[in-house]
Amino acid sequence: MRLILLFGLLSISLCSSAAVYRWVDENGKVHYADEPQQNAELVEVKQNTQNTIALRETKLNSPKESELDTAVNTTITIVSPTHEETIRSNEGKFDVTVSVAPKLLRGMLLALFIDGEIKAQPQTSTTFSLEGIYRGEHAIVVKALDQNGKVLASSSPRTIYLHQATLVTRPTPRGG
pLDDT in tens, 70-116: 455 889 999 999 999 999 998 889 999 999 988 888 888 999 999 99
Assign 3-class secondary structure to 98-158. EEEECCCCCCCEEEEEECCEEEEEEECCCEEEECCCCCEEEEEEEEEECCCCCEEEECCCE
Q: Does residue 148 sit within a domain? A: yes
Residues 32 and 80 in one domain: no
Domain count, the chain: 2
pLDDT in tens, 152-167: 889 999 999 999 886 6
Domain that holds residue 31: 19-44
pTM for the structure as a whole? 0.54
User: For residue 56, is pLDDT > 50?
Assistant: yes
What band does 35 get if pLDDT is binned at 50, 70 and 90? Answer: confident
Residues 28 and 88 in one domain: no
Region 6-17 average pLDDT: 61
Residues 85 and 124 in one domain: yes
